[in-house]
Structure 1
Amino acid sequence: MTRTSAVSLIRSRSLSDVAEYAYAATAPATSRLVFLAGSCPLDEHGNTVPVGDYAGQAAKAMENLRTALADADASVEDVISTRVLVASTRQEDLVAAWEVVRDAFGHHDVPSTLMGVTVLGYTDQLVEIEAVAAVLDEPESDGPTHAPSA
């Protein structure tokens, strides 16, 4: 069964088309919002991986983000916005992480903010991805319906 996404991406004709993401997104008031904690590049043992690799950490953070979304009955197509935090002052490091995130979202180019920060919470952590998703849940059924008896 294919679920319809609640998210509508908005692209502005008045703003630069250089951005690799939509400038805004909306979801109906009836959607369920999912606020995800920052997704970190941690393995199953809580270790930051791969150490020193911006793109590799972005890929692991996206993998963990997908898992958290699935646990909330959502997917990347339900994400309405992201914030990508990169512990670096070098633009090329931010771009290396961003390209992984951008590619992971594919055609669903959600509004995003890319930020260079001083430090992140885990030892050796270079990347963290925050996200908000909006989900249209299927209406709950009260069981099978029967035609009235004559």
Structure 2
Amino acid sequence: MSLAGYQVRFQKGITGGFAPPTPSALYDLSVNADGTTLTIVSQTRPHGTPTLGDPVTGTLSIGSGDTADSLSELRAILSEIPPQYPGAQDFYGRDISIIAPQNSPGIAAYGSAAARGVQPPTEQQVGMFNRAAEIVNQLVSRV
């Protein structure tokens, strides 16, 4: 299956309380239209600062190798597990949100309304989510 146009949003720091969550990292991964390049836009919040830093953009060639395999595995995982939206109950206990917007078109991607009707994950799905987080972090570390 082609990866062209595939997108993933990863956010570290999704739990809040009275105030909205303050993310410490935000990564947007997107595959270009012809499926040859992965663009990663990352923003991180240095410890002790109130906002995310300026976005930094990097690219990886997809080809046939680790990047393609990692993206295919990530896509398969995210299509099988319940989505974890930012601002919603932290189902996975990691303070991380990973969503693929094209998996849930027309759904608000933030807050408790986004998670309405989402069933809590099984232990196996928690393990899959942890693997998805690992894949995203590995891809980000390559740029």
* Common topology (TM > 0.5): no
If you compute each CA radius of gyration, which structure gives the higher value, 1 or 2?
1
- What TM-score does the superposition give when structure 1 sets the normalisation length? 0.23
- What TM-score does the superposition give when structure 2 sets the normalisation length? 0.24
Task: Judging by fraction of residues, say which structure has more helix.
Answer: 2
